[in-house]
Amino acid sequence: MNKAGKKKTGVYENVVKQFNKAADLIDFDPEIRKVLATTQNELTVNFPVKMDDGHIEIFSGYRVQHNNALGPYKGGLRYHPAVDIDEVRALATWMTWKSAIVHIPFGGAKGGIQCDPFKYSRSEIQRITRRFTYALGCNIGPEYDIPAPDVNTNAQIMAWILDTYLSTQSPLTRQASVHVVTGKPVESGGSLGRDKATGQGVVFTIEQWAKDRKHDLKGATHFVQGYGNVGSWAAMLMKPYGAKMVAVSDLCGCFQNPEGIEPHELNDYFKKNRTFDGFPKLRKIDDKQFLSTKADIFIPAALENQITAETADLLNVKVVAEGANGPTDPDGDEILQKKGIDIIPDVLCNAGGVIVSYFEWLQNKRSECWDLDEVDRKLRKIIVGGYDRVRDAAKTHKTDWRTAAYIVALTRLERVYKERGIFP
Ligand code: NAD
Please name the residue whose Cα sits nearest to atom 12 of ligand 1.
226
Please name the residue whose Cα sits nearest to atom 36 of ligand 1.
324
Q: Which residues' Cβ are closer than 6 Å to ligand 1?
A: 1-3, 149-152, 198, 225-231, 249-251, 301-303, 323-325, 350, 353
Q: What is the per-residue pLDDT for 362?
A: 98
pTM: 0.97
- Which of 151, 224, 270 has most ligand 1 atoms within 8 Å of its beta carbon, as the pocket-test mutant? 151
Residue pair 227/248 in contact by the 8 Å Cβ criterion: yes
- Which of 7, 182, 196, 229 has most ligand 1 atoms within 8 Å of its beta carbon, as the pocket-test mutant? 229
State the DSSP code for 306. -
Name the average pLDDT for the chain.
96
pLDDT in tens, 218-263: 999 999 999 999 999 999 999 999 999 999 999 999 999 999 999 9
pLDDT in tens, 117-168: 999 999 999 999 999 999 999 999 999 999 999 999 999 999 999 999 999 9
Give one word for 275, left, alpha or beta, with left for phi > 0 and alpha for psi -120 to 50: beta
Q: What is the per-residue pLDDT for 7?
A: 45
Q: What is the per-residue pLDDT for 89?
A: 98
Residue 283, number of CB atoms within 10 A of its CB: 11
Query: Which domains are assigned to the chain?
Result: 40-187 (3.40.50.10860), 197-349 (3.40.50.720)
Please name the residue whose Cα sits nearest to atom 33 of ligand 1.
324
- Which of 150, 181, 196, 205 has most ligand 1 atoms within 8 Å of its beta carbon, as the pocket-test mutant? 150
Q: Tell me how far apart the alpha carbons of residues 178 and 167 are, in angstroms, rounded to a whole number.
A: 11
Average pLDDT over residues 81-88: 97
Q: Tell me how far apart the alpha carbons of residues 234 and 226 are, in angstroms, rounded to a whole number.
A: 11
pLDDT in tens, 359-399: 999 999 999 999 999 999 999 999 999 999 999 999 999 99
Q: What is the per-residue pLDDT for 10?
A: 83
Q: How many CA atoms within 13 Å lie on the side-chain side of 76?
A: 28
Average pLDDT over residues 181-209: 98
Q: Which member of 3, 74, 98, 110 is catalytic?
A: 110
Q: Does residue 113 have a pLDDT over 70?
A: yes
Q: How far is the CA of 167 from the centre of ligand 1 (A)?
A: 30
Q: Does residue 3 have a pLDDT over 50?
A: no
pLDDT in tens, 264-312: 999 999 999 999 999 999 999 999 999 999 999 999 999 999 999 999 9
Q: What is the per-residue pLDDT for 9?
A: 54
Q: What is the per-residue pLDDT for 1?
A: 42
Q: Does residue 8 have a pLDDT over 70?
A: no
Percent of the chain with pLDDT over 70: 98
Q: How many CA atoms within 13 Å lie on the side-chain side of 61?
A: 26
Say whether 378 is catalytic: no
